[in-house]
Amino acid sequence: GAEEGVKPASVDPPAGDRSITFNFIRASALRDANSRKILQGETGLPRFQDIRQRCPDWIRRLEVNELQACGHELVGKCLIVSHCWEDPANPDLKGVQLARIVEHLEKNPAIEYVWYDFWCLAQGTERAAADEREFKSHLAHVNWLYLGASVLLIVDMSTLGRFWTQYEAWLSMQSATLGGLQPASKADLRATTVCIHNAEDDMEGRKLSKLWSTRSAKEAHEVLSGTDVRVTNASDKAIHLPKIAKMDEFVR
């Protein structure tokens, strides 16, 4: 069931609306240094399966639907992390991303849950059948999270060349309005940008904001369709590019 404070929609959802139960990591576990040491090594936290096996109480399953995303109902309670993978087997080789996440959580004590793909989706080619079904479902609907919650954009020099990080940035800078998806006003911004590695001077963060903070749904689709926007799995673009127009229509 839904976590207290993450309430179901107050009206009947329209045809086609579905709820997805996502895995989140409890922010309290990430804030606690002793708790982090249980699993943390030189390369940060391990994948979802290891957390589920060794520290299952870190995981909280929350039900989320499109109407909650449109209402931005998860803002302030749930933090969704956008980041680049630094290695096919480990997105955070030196624990720098983890450090930035913890810093953000310490500055924002109201946040209760964190979604970070490596920790919240089953990883690897040896996924069990149930994990594989959940992985595909969650990945197909992760746009709801980036639209409906607070977002931490962890930016490095490769961020601007990748489909997922640009798509997530655009979603995080949108508001659901009567006119559809619209660029969020300064008062309604849900995204926080932090730079790492060679982007630590914040130049890349400003570029990301300039690129996406004013884009319409149509413009976002055009940019993300470009051949210079790289994606490891071409099917990800095939799934999510059509969702941009569908999200805008649903919001309207």
Residue range 5-9: average pLDDT?
Answer: 38
Question: Rg of the chain over CA atoms, in angstroms?
Answer: 17
* Residues 208, 212, 215: CA angle, nearest 5 degrees: 165
User: Alpha carbon of 111 to those of 41, 52, 106, 212: distances in Å?
Assistant: 24, 21, 9, 25
Q: What is the pLDDT of residue 10?
A: 37
Q: What is the pLDDT of residue 120?
A: 97
Q: What backbone torsions phi and psi does residue 50 show, to the nearest 5 degrees?
A: -70, -40
Q: What is the pLDDT of residue 9?
A: 36
User: How does residue 16 score in pLDDT terms, banded at 50, 70 and 90?
Assistant: very low
- Cβ atoms of 9 and 68 within 8 Å: the answer is yes
128 vs 39, residue with greater confidence: 128
Taking each helix axis as running N to C, give the angle between helix 163-172 and helix 217-224, from 0 to 180 degrees, rounded to the nearest 10. 170
Tracing tokens 């996406």 back to the chain, one arrives at: 212
125 vs 6, residue with greater confidence: 125
As a whole number of angstroms, the distance between CA 178 and CA 73 comes to 16
As a whole number of angstroms, the distance between CA 236 and CA 239 comes to 5
